[in-house]
Structure 1
Amino acid sequence: MTINGDGIDNPYGKVFNQTYPGRVILSESTSRTSFAITVLQSTGMASDKMAPLLQMTLSHMSFALYNGLAGPITIFGPSSENCDEARDPILITDWGHRSAFQEWERELTGNPIRPQMNSILINVIIDHILVGIGQRYHVVRHADPKNETKFPASENGNYWIRTVPAEGCKGSEDGNELDERQGFLRYEPEEKNKPQLGNNFSWWAFGEQPLWLNFSEPTIMLLDEKKEWPGDYVIIPAENRDRWVYLVITAPKTNELGNNRTFISLAHPLHLHGHDFALLAQGNDSSQIDDPDNSVVLKFDNPPRRDVALIPAGGYLIVAFKADNPGSWLFHCHIAWHASSGLALQIMEREEDLRKTMTLEKLQQVNDGCKKWNEWFADTENLWSQNATLFQDDSGV
Structure 2
Amino acid sequence: MRPTTLWSAFTTLLATSHVSASSLHNHKRHCHHIGKCKFDPSKSPKCWGDHSLSTNWYDEVPDTGVTREYWLEIQNSTAAIDGVERVVLTVNGSVPGPTIIADWGDNVVVHVHNALENNGTSIHWHGLRQNRTTQHDGVASITQCPVAPKDTITYRFRAEQYGHSWYHSHFATQAWNGVFGGILINGPCSAPYDEDKGVLLLSDWFHNTTDALWSTASAGSPPVAQNGLINGTNIYGNGGKRFETTFEAGKRHRIRLVNTAIDTHYKFMIDNHKMKVVAADLVPIQPYTTEVLSIGIGQRYDVIVEADEDGGDFWLRAYPDMACSAENEMVNNIRGIVRYDASSHKEPTTSAYAYTEDCLDEPMSKLVPYVPLDVESPTVKKDFGLGFAVDTHGLFKWTLDGTDMLSNWGLPTLQQSLIDLSVFKTSSNVVELNEKDAWVYFIIENGPAALGLTHPIHLHGHDFYVLAQEANANYTSATPLQLKNSPRRDVAMLPANGFLVIGFMTDNPGVWLMHCHIGWHASQGFGLQVVERAAEIPPLCDSSSIDSTCAKWSRYVAMKNIVQDDSGI
Which band: TM-score by shorter chain?
0.7 to 0.9
Partner of 2:162: 52
Label 1:181 to 1:353 Cα distance change in 2 as closer, same or farther (>3 A): closer
1:304 is aligned to 2:487: yes
Cα distance in 1, alignment partners of residues 463 and 548 from structure 2:
30
Counterpart-to-counterpart distance in 1, 2:334 and 2:424: 50
Decide which of 9, 20, 23 is 2:98's aligned counterpart: 23
Whole-angstrom distance in 2 between the partners of 1:17 and 1:159 = 32
Alignment of 1:33-112 (within 5 A): 33-37=108-112, 39-47=122-130, 51-77=161-187, 86-109=196-219, 112=220
Alignment of 1:272-283 (within 5 A): 272-283=459-470
Q: For residue 204 of structure 1, what is the aligned residue in structure 2?
A: 398
Instruction: Indicate the residue corresponding to 1:242 in structure 2.
Output: 437
The structural deviation recorded for 1:165 is 2.2
CA distance change for structure 1 residues 185 and 8 in 2, over 3 Å: closer, same or farther? same
d(CA) in 2 for partners of 1:233, 1:218: 12
User: Which residue number corresponds to residue 566 of structure 2?
Assistant: 394
Partner Cα distance (1:374, 1:83) in 2 = 52
Deviation at 1:24, TM superposition (A): 1.1
The whole-number CA distance in structure 2 between the counterparts of 1:59 and 1:104 is 16
What is the aligned counterpart of 2:299 among 132, 135, 147? 135
After TM superposition, give the deviation of residue 163 of structure 1 in Å. 3.6
299, 306, 326: which is aligned to 1:171? 326
Residues of 1 paired with 2:503 and 2:103: CA distance? 28
State the TM-score, normalized to the length of structure 2: 0.58
What's the CA shift string for 1:244-264, capped at 9, x where partnerless?
A: 211111101x2x3xxxxxx32
Matched, 1:125 2:269: yes
Give 1:202 shift. 1.6
Structure 2 match to 1:366: 546
Q: Decide whether the 8 Å contact of 2:218 with 2:395 is kept in 1.
A: yes
Give 5+ residue unaligned stretches, structure 1: 147-155, 191-195, 257-262, 384-390
What one-letter code is carried by the residue in structure 2 that aligns with 1:135? Q
Query: CA shift at 1:114, angstroms?
Result: 1.4
Alignment map for 1:213-292 (pairs within 5 Å) = 213-223=407-417, 224-225=419-420, 228-230=423-425, 232-252=427-447, 254=448, 256=449, 263-287=450-474, 289-290=475-476
Residue of structure 1 equivalent to 2:556: 376
| C-alpha distance in 1 between matches for 2:160 and 2:516 | 18
Distance in 2, Cα, partners of 1:211 & 1:347? 12
Deviation at 1:29, TM superposition (A): 1.2
- SS of the equivalent of 1:141 reads strand
**Contact 1:238 1:349 (8 Å CA) reproduced:** yes
Q: Distance in 2 between matches of 1:102 and 1:163?
A: 26
Sort the Cα spacing of 1:78 and 1:197 in 2 relative to 1 into closer, same or farther, 3 A: same
Counterpart AA for 1:7: G
Greater alpha carbon shift after TM alignment, 37-46 vs 94-103: 37-46
Q: Matched residues, percent identical?
A: 31
TM-score, normalisation: structure 1: 0.81
2:525 partner amino acid? G
The alpha-carbon distance between structure 1 residues 159 and 181, as it changes in their structure 2 partners (threshold 3 A), is: farther
Specify the alignment match of 2:89 in structure 1. Answer: 14
Q: Distance in 2 between matches of 1:350 and 1:276?
A: 17
CA positional deviation for 1:78: 6.0
What is the CA-CA distance between 1:225 and the residue it aligns to? 2.8
| Residues 357 and 172 (structure 1), Cα distance of their counterparts in 2 relative to 1, 3 Å cut | closer
Which of 497, 501, 504 is the matching residue for 1:321? 504
Unaligned runs of 5+ in 2: 1-76, 113-120, 132-158, 231-242, 244-267, 271-290, 345-389
Asked whether 1:2 is paired with 2:78, we answer: yes
Deviations 1:247-288 (A, max 9, x none): 111101x2x3xxxxxx3211111101111111122111341x
Number of paired residues? Answer: 354
1:186 corresponds to which residue?
339
Instruction: Look up the match of 1:386.
Output: none
CA 1:83–1:379 in 2, change beyond 3 Å: closer, same or farther? Answer: farther
Tell me whether 325-334 or 160-169 shows the greater mean CA deviation. 160-169
| Separation (CA, whole Å) in 2 of partners of 1:97 and 1:321 | 40
> Relative contact order (alpha carbons < 8 A, sep ≥ 6): 1 or 2 greater?
1
The offset of 1:50, in angstroms, is: 6.8
Once residues 338 and 296 of structure 1 are traced to their aligned partners in structure 2, the CA distance between those partners, rounded to angstroms, is: 28
Residue 131 of structure 1 aligns with an amino acid whose one-letter code is I
Cα 1:86–1:186 shift into 2, 3 Å: closer
Q: Return the letter of the residue paired with 2:566.
A: D
User: CA–CA distance in 1 between the matches of 2:101 and 2:192?
Assistant: 16
Contact 2:468 2:482 in 1 (8 A): yes
| Alpha-carbon offset, residue 226 of structure 1 | 6.6
The alpha-carbon deviation at position 63 of structure 1 amounts to: 1.0
Contact 1:76 1:86 in 2 (8 A): no
Q: Contact (CA 8 Å) 1:250, 1:286: kept in 2 or not? A: no
Q: What is the alpha-carbon distance in structure 2 between the residues aligned to residue 143 and residue 159 of structure 1?
A: 11
